[in-house]
Structure 1
Amino acid sequence: MSAQASPDVAAFPGLREAEYPDLPPGQLNAATHGLAPARTIAALRRALDAWAAGRPDTAGYEDSVAAARASFARITGTPLSQVALAGTVAGAVGLVAAALPAGAEVVTFQDDFSSLVHPFAARTDLRLRLVRLQDVADAVRPGTALVAVSAAQSADGRVADLPAIRAAAEAHGARVLLDATQSVGWLPIDAMSYDYVVCHGYKWLVSPHGACFLTVRPGAEPTLSPVFTGWYGADDPWDACYGPVPHLAPGARRFDARPAYLAYVGAAASLALVEELGVQAIHDHDVALADRLRDGFTSLGFSPVPGPSAIVAVPGVPAALTDRLQAAGAAFSSRAGNLRLAPHFYNTPSDVDHVLNAAAS
């Protein structure tokens, strides 16, 4: 089968040549791990070379941390002071979970990613209500303390009804925690519409593992405790290395985890590229490619999970088809019984066609 041309799929002229010159066809797996651009690899190599030569650039590392934090703030519409550094999604969610009073009710999607769900399940003194994704908003009721949900689902790409969830939470006085790891970078997210947003950058922000962020809406800081804060959460970290921290940083920065420097060296370069391209443009590009994939698999007799989403999930794909994709050098994943494909800004219609032609052969 030859996929039809799709001139309406927007491209980023010169991007592939400048940032991904050696990318083989069919690499549609951003939902597992985004692919670092050339500028990010170059920044990491410079940092590693300096380290190997005995000249680790601490000041340069700090500049990269500041640049990555600022980029993430702009991408998510967040005041700079409200972006904290995190190590993992589970760690950031655990900060929220640990601060809830005993008996607090938490509503979440029953099959959401474990890093979002388990920190609440681990607290056996909380009332955890697990519901279907389409029922999250309706499940919020008087007495609900927190709604926790992923903006886009890892397993099948479904996008939560975020306006309905926000409205239900506001109506009942509940707070909202959003896991945006599978969305920030392709789906426009206004982080200040939620009390807490956590995002690890190694997927759609094409950054190294370890560059993770937590936003806290102004006024929500008192709901969290800086019990996990070390010297890096001080107003002046380098003057607060010993003894109790005398003055915590303002806003969400008081919850900073000590950053993994090399991860943020890479993140600063990668997030700069995301800003240059623009999240709305990336969204339009990614979703158009994803729609092309869904149409192609539908024509092959499958029933992909409907969009709009940059994540394409196709249930019921036989092993022989995935074997053909692997033989063709395609990159994809299998999640919850679905073949999962996830095109990103570095992909083109030819990548989609490569996969569809392999699937049809």
Structure 2
Amino acid sequence: MDGEFRGPQSGPMQTTETFDRLVRAEFRPRSTYLNTASNGLLPARTVAALNEAALLRAEGRPLTRLYEDVEASRAAFARLAGVPATRVAAGASVAAHTGVIAAALPAGAEVLTAEDDFTSVLNPFHVRGDLKVRTVPLERIAESVRPGTALVAVSAAQSADGRLADLPALREAARAHGARTYVDFSQAAGWLPFDADAYDFTACVAFKWLLGPHGAAFLTVPEDFGGLTPLLAGWVAAEHPWDSCYGPVAELARSARRFDLTHALFTFAGLRRSLELVEELGVPAIHAHDTALADRFRTGLAALGHEPVPAPGSAIVSVPGLGARQPELSEAGIEVSDRAGNLRAAFHLYNTPEDVDRLLAALTA
């Protein structure tokens, strides 16, 4: 059931014309949608796959082929993450993956986290009750690793405001002090190139920048599984799943599939097509497109006298004090978020310079 490893960030670089053509064929939003940090739009091919999967169930046809979509999705994500598919587990949420990592830590272990990071990255460590969870500002997380730190857990891009963690510095600091690293790429995978092999553990939901339906998340682990115990394992986590439906699992999967959760089959049927599109477009091309739009918005904000939260290089732009305008912007057909009083705009492959200019014009009014 395990996929083939073809190398990091697979997928061709696209010309602007090809990029635009592929995007136009897949997306026709009815609003100025600048809210991918909450939910990504579904490509047309994904919607078609979801409909087809639902019909299998409605018409009583076998669902066996949907398990192929799980493995194709695992393999596609592995290529984006730059690791073999044997190191990728398919689950349902970052919180569940964090819980497995938290459960593997010994009592009293120190976990270093960033202030106001997303709850799914943090809370499982807190509910243990016997871990030392230390919290520092994001900008200080690398310098705050110290002897005795067991794990550093952080989001690559902050949900609230798009700030990027200095992951190279964090990686080096962790190595210097013997700490393990756990990075959540939920707000980065799909627009920010990344190498999961650089960290001990990574997690990512698929319904944001990866453009998938809700209900799927991925976990990457080391070849030796990093000391994790598959506490949530069911029959799909067995080396031979269909022979492991009754009684205790006799043999867990020899790959990261031992950490799989029961698969949301319809979700993976759609996600397979979404990941195909991301690979066709290429993450480097998506990154260039998204960050150019974010920079255009930052430039326009400066002309209006607004200063966003500093987040250079991010596809997410957060503007203090403007969050209360989210309802009126939504009424005007512009979808953004209100996060901690900030107006958060997230720019992705289906957005255009005209979308940016429309938001700036609305903020001028």
**TM-score bracket for the superposition, by shorter chain length:** over 0.9
Specify the SS of the correspondent of 1:149. Answer: strand
> Partner letter of residue 246 of structure 2?
Y
1:4: which partner in 2? none
Given the alignment of the two structures, is residue 287 of structure 1 paired with residue 291 of structure 2, yes or no?
yes
Note if contact 2:23-2:349 (Cα within 8 Å) is conserved in structure 1. no
Q: What are the equivalent positions in structure 2 for 1:59-98 lying under 5 Å apart? A: 59-98=64-103
1:217 to 201, 222, 227: 222
Note if contact 1:25-1:354 (Cα within 8 Å) is conserved in structure 2. no
Given the alignment of the two structures, is residue 234 of structure 1 paired with residue 241 of structure 2, yes or no?
no
Q: Distance between the aligned counterparts of 1:112 and 1:162, measured in 2?
A: 15
Specify the SS of the correspondent of 1:41. Answer: helix
1:188: which partner in 2? 193
1:335 to 328, 336, 339: 339
Q: Distance between the aligned counterparts of 1:318 and 1:37, measured in 2?
A: 28
Q: Distance between the aligned counterparts of 1:116 and 1:327, measured in 2?
A: 33
Distance change >3 Å, CA 298–CA 10, structure 1 → 2: farther
Distance change >3 Å, CA 163–CA 296, structure 1 → 2: same
**Two-structure CA RMSD over aligned residues (Å):** 1.5
Q: What are the equivalent positions in structure 2 for 1:84-233 lying under 5 Å apart? A: 84-219=89-224, 221-233=225-237
Provide the TM-score with structure 1 as the length reference: 0.94
Specify the SS of the correspondent of 2:176. Answer: helix
- Give the CA deviation at 1:337: 1.6
Q: Distance between the aligned counterparts of 1:159 and 1:318, measured in 2?
A: 21
> Partner letter of residue 307 of structure 2?
S
1:46 to 30, 48, 52: 52
- Give the CA deviation at 1:326: 2.3
Greater Cα offset, 73-82 or 246-255 = 246-255
Unaligned runs of 5+ in 1: 1-8
Greater Cα offset, 262-271 or 297-306 = 297-306
- Give the CA deviation at 1:189: 1.0
Specify the SS of the correspondent of 1:122. Answer: helix
Note if contact 1:25-1:351 (Cα within 8 Å) is conserved in structure 2. no
Unaligned runs of 5+ in 2: 1-14
Given the alignment of the two structures, is residue 274 of structure 1 paired with residue 281 of structure 2, yes or no?
no
Specify the SS of the correspondent of 2:300. Answer: helix
Note if contact 1:25-1:350 (Cα within 8 Å) is conserved in structure 2. no
- Give the CA deviation at 1:293: 1.0
Note if contact 1:89-1:212 (Cα within 8 Å) is conserved in structure 2. yes
2:263: which partner in 1? 259
Greater Cα offset, 310-319 or 151-160 = 310-319
2:20 to 8, 13, 30: 13
Q: Give percent identity, aligned residues only.
A: 54
Note if contact 1:324-1:359 (Cα within 8 Å) is conserved in structure 2. no
> Partner letter of residue 20 of structure 2?
P
Greater Cα offset, 234-243 or 167-176 = 234-243
> Partner letter of residue 144 of structure 1?
T
Note if contact 1:10-1:285 (Cα within 8 Å) is conserved in structure 2. no
Deviations 1:267-323 (A, max 9, x none): 10100100101111111100000111111112111101232100110111274x445
Residues matched between the structures, number: 349
Greater Cα offset, 143-152 or 209-218 = 209-218
Specify the SS of the correspondent of 1:71. Answer: helix
> Partner letter of residue 15 of structure 1?
L
Specify the SS of the correspondent of 1:54. Answer: coil
Provide the TM-score with structure 2 as the length reference: 0.93
- Give the CA deviation at 1:324: 4.5
- Give the CA deviation at 1:230: 1.1
Q: Distance between the aligned counterparts of 1:223 and 1:128, measured in 2?
A: 20
Note if contact 1:30-1:342 (Cα within 8 Å) is conserved in structure 2. yes
